[in-house]
């Protein structure tokens, strides 16, 4: 049959009605991206997806959880990323309906859907082919897809040698349509993933497709486009250029690393006028000191009730080691280079907590953190440790404390510094501003974020948690 094209107002959309009255398939083009952007984006996001917690590579559809369900608080939605490479992926379906936004590869994408019912497919495998429809997406396009649960689908590149797509999929009701009790329990636990929610095509239908592969020319197809009528001269010429650009940009992207950064802004850390009452720091360096500061972060979490302050403090101390501010690490590297010729003490950690790397094992908190002193109250609601070291030019003491009251925990970091000579006073005059305005508050903030992540084990380590 001849190709019939017509202009479309708004977003060009394809709608495929379900043969048995269930939700239709709806596909809409949203925007045309730059030449070769689809292949480039596929490789960029693929690298980041691989580093995401919960990444799974299965069924030719690498995927990762971005936002999980939380049924205890009424959240039944989930957000996943997934990718389909140059080989496409097999026909499959999900019990629940799906909504996703995707970027097509630089060779375009073919979306294949079959709205066959189970009864018709069991009666005859040919019913699956009879209910097939294709939707062709042009290269380097942003598009959306929505379809109901039980719809068989497969995504393929239109042109070989290019990835099919990268997508963000919103599962609007993770429990929707699930009848299997075991799968329902998995979903309720918040541990469901895309492969676990996927059902593959029955072997009888697969055998029929292999023995009698359908001719693409016989399958009803809707082609969407933005640059010009599908199959026209402009559309065809543009597709050739985009495929070439995609290969070049894909080669360039293969040599680059994909990473990211998370920055904070706002008053998450409060500077205190003096150390909290009862702080171990209050009795330290009482003969005189040149610098003192104290900072506090208030942590609000419903699951703090029953938590021991000593356990939370141990997680905060671990956070100083495992979740360091990048800027402080760079400052410490520069500082170590400058003071090494002076035979001063060097450390990769900022001064307030650098003694956590001490080899001294005489006094350990939680069995692993070297401290100068420690104290906990009998009820387990307050715990604190004293850190510090002596150097040629100064002595410092720091106190890290945790106090829990209901659903609130106050985590403090206080520091005192005593200069031992004229160079020590000069040294503190040079670094005091950066220490007070950035080093101490930044280190405390990220250490508390690490501890809060331990309270929520499912949280991705790459996620910044609002405090």
- pLDDT per residue over 359-392, tens digit each? 888 899 989 999 999 999 989 899 999 999 999 8
Please provide the average confidence, as pLDDT, over all residues in the chain.
86
**Number of neighbours of residue 234 by Cβ within 10 angstroms:** 11
Q: What is the mean pLDDT of residues 101-123?
A: 92
pLDDT above 60 (res 464): no
Strand-pairing partners, residue 364, are: 370
Q: What is the pTM of this model?
A: 0.73
Burial class (CB in 10 A: 0-12, 13-18, 19+), 106: buried
pLDDT per residue as tens digits for the range 209-247: 888 888 877 889 888 988 777 766 666 777 787 888 777
**What pLDDT is stored for residue 189 in this prediction?**
79
pLDDT per residue as tens digits for the range 305-344: 778 889 999 999 999 999 888 888 888 888 889 888 888 8
| CA distance to 83, 340, 360, 422, 431, per residue, from 344 (Å) | 52, 6, 19, 15, 15
| CA distance to 188, 189, 196, 197, 236, per residue, from 184 (Å) | 6, 9, 11, 10, 47
Burial class (CB in 10 A: 0-12, 13-18, 19+), 187: buried
pLDDT above 90 (res 155): yes
**What pLDDT is stored for residue 306 in this prediction?**
75
**What pLDDT is stored for residue 383 in this prediction?**
93
pLDDT above 90 (res 19): no
Q: What is the mean pLDDT of residues 165-192?
A: 85
**What pLDDT is stored for residue 232 in this prediction?**
65
Q: Please give the structure tokens belonging to residue 203.
A: 């072997």
pLDDT above 60 (res 439): yes
Q: Which among 25, 63, 59, 68 has a CA at the least distance from the CA of 45?
A: 63
How many whole angstroms separate alpha carbon 321 and alpha carbon 416?
21
Please indicate whether residue 156 or residue 306 has the higher confidence score (pLDDT).
156
- 4 pLDDT band, cuts 50/70/90, is low
Q: Which among 309, 287, 286, 283 has a CA at the least distance from the CA of 386?
A: 283
How many whole angstroms separate alpha carbon 184 and alpha carbon 164?
31
Q: What is the mean pLDDT of residues 334-355?
A: 86
Q: What is the mean pLDDT of residues 21-44?
A: 90
List of residues 6+ apart from 262 with CB closer than 8 A: 462, 463, 464
Q: Which among 322, 308, 343 has a CA at the least distance from the CA of 455?
A: 308
Of the CA atoms within 13 Å of residue 156, those in its CB half-sphere come to 16
Q: Please give the structure tokens belonging to residue 177.
A: 């349509």
pLDDT above 70 (res 176): yes
pLDDT per residue as tens digits for the range 39-77: 999 998 988 999 888 899 988 899 999 988 888 888 899
Percent of the chain with pLDDT over 90: 39
**What pLDDT is stored for residue 444 in this prediction?**
93
**What pLDDT is stored for residue 226 in this prediction?**
86
pLDDT above 70 (res 264): no
**What pLDDT is stored for residue 1 in this prediction?**
47
């Amino acid at each position: 049959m001849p190709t019939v094209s017509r202009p479309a107002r708004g977003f060009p959309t394809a709608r495929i009605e379900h043969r048995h009255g269930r939700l239709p398939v709806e596909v809409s083009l949203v925007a045309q991206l730059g030449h070769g952007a689809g292949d480039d984006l596929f490789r960029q996001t693929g690298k980041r997806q691989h580093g995401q917690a919960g990444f799974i590579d299965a069924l030719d559809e690498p995927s990762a959880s971005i936002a999980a369900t939380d049924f205890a608080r009424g959240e039944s939605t989930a957000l996943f990323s997934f990718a389909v490479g140059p080989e496409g992926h097999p026909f499959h379906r999900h019990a629940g309906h799906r909504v996703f936004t995707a970027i097509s590869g630089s060779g375009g994408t073919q979306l294949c859907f079959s709205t066959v019912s189970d009864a018709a497919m069991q009666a005859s495998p040919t019913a699956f082919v009879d209910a097939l429809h294709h939707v062709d997406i042009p290269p380097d396009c942003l598009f959306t897809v929505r379809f109901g649960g039980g719809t068989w689908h497969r995504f393929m590149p239109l042109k070989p040698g290019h990835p099919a797509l990268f997508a963000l999929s919103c599962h609007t009701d993770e429990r929707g349509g699930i009848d299997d009790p075991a799968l329902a329990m998995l979903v309720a636990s918040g541990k469901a993933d895309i492969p676990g929610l996927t059902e593959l095509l029955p072997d009888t239908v697969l055998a029929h497709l292999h023995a009698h592969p359908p001719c693409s020319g016989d399958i009803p197809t809707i082609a969407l486009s933005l640059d010009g009528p599908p199959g026209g001269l402009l559309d065809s010429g543009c597709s050739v250029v985009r495929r070439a650009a995609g290969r070049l940009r894909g080669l360039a992207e293969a040599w680059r690393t994909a990473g990211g950064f998370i920055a904070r802004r706002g008053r998450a850390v409060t500077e205190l006028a003096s150390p909290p009452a009862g702080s171990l720091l209050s009795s330290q360096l009482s003969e005189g000191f040149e610098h003192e500061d104290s900072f506090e972060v208030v942590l609000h979490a419903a699951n703090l009730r029953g938590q021991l302050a000593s356990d939370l403090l141990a997680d905060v101390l671990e956070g100083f080691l495992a979740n360091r501010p990048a800027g402080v690490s760079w400052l410490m590297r520069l500082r170590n280079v400058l003071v090494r010729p002076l035979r001063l003490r060097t450390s990769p950690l900022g001064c307030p907590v650098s003694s956590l790397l001490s080899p001294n094992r005489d006094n350990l908190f939680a069995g692993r953190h070297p401290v100068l002193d420690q104290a906990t109250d009998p009820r387990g609601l307050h715990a604190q440790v004293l850190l510090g070291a002596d150097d040629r030019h100064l002595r410092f003491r720091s106190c890290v404390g945790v106090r829990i009251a209901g659903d609130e925990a106050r985590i403090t970091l206080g520091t005192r510094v005593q200069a031992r000579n004229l160079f020590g006073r000069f040294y503190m005059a040079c670094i005091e501003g950066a220490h007070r305005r950035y080093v101490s508050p930044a280190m405390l903030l990220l250490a508390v974020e690490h501890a809060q992540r331990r309270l929520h084990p499912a949280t991705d380590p790459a996620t910044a948690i609002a405090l």
